[in-house]
Amino acid sequence: MSEVLELYERLRSLFGPEVDVVELEELAGEIARRLPKPVTRVVKTANSTVEGVLEVASSSARGRLRELVVRGETPSYRVRVYTDGIAKVDMSWEELSRVSQHLVALSAYVDEEGLYTFRVEDVSWAREMRVTVEADGRVVLRNVVCIYDEYI
Provide CB contacts within 8 A for 119, sequence distance 6+. 67, 68, 69, 70, 106, 107, 108
Burial (CB count within 10 angstroms: exposed 0-12, middle 13-18, buried 19+), residue 72: buried
Average pLDDT, the chain: 92
Say whether pLDDT at 8 is over 80. Answer: no
DSSP per-residue letters across 9-69: HHHHHHH-TT--HHHHHHHHHHHHHHSPPEEEEEEEEEEEEEEEEEEEEEESSSEEEEEEE
Residues 30 and 45 grouped into a single domain: no
Pairing of strands 63-72, 106-110: unpaired
Share of the chain above pLDDT 90, in %: 71
Q: Are 11 and 42 members of one domain? A: no
Q: Are residues 51 and 121 in the same domain?
A: yes
**DSSP 8-state symbol, 74:** S
Are residue 26 and residue 99 in the same domain, yes or no? no
24-60 pLDDT, tens digit each: 778 777 877 888 889 999 999 999 999 999 999 999 9
List C-alpha distances in Å: 94 to 79, 107, 118. 11, 11, 10
Residue 118: pLDDT over 90: yes
Per-residue pLDDT reduced to its tens digit, 55-100? 999 999 999 999 999 999 999 999 999 999 999 999 999 999 999 8
Residue 115 binned pLDDT confidence (cut-offs 50, 70, 90):
very high
Termini Cα distance of the chain: 32
Range(s) of the domain holding residue 122: 38-151
Are residues 57 and 6 part of one domain? no
Residue of 59, 53, 50, 38 lying closest to 146 (CA atoms): 59
Q: Say what the pLDDT of residue 140 is.
A: 98
| Number of domains composing the chain | 2
CATH of the domain at 116: 2.60.120.1390
pLDDT score of 58? 98
Q: Does pLDDT of 124 surpass 70?
A: yes
- Looking at the fold, whether 28 and 53 belong to one and the same domain comes out as no
Of 109 and 30, the structure prediction assigns the larger pLDDT to 109
How high is the pLDDT of residue 6?
Answer: 79
Residue 1 has pLDDT above 70, yes or no: no
Same domain, 46 and 9: no
145 touches 103 (CB < 8 A): no
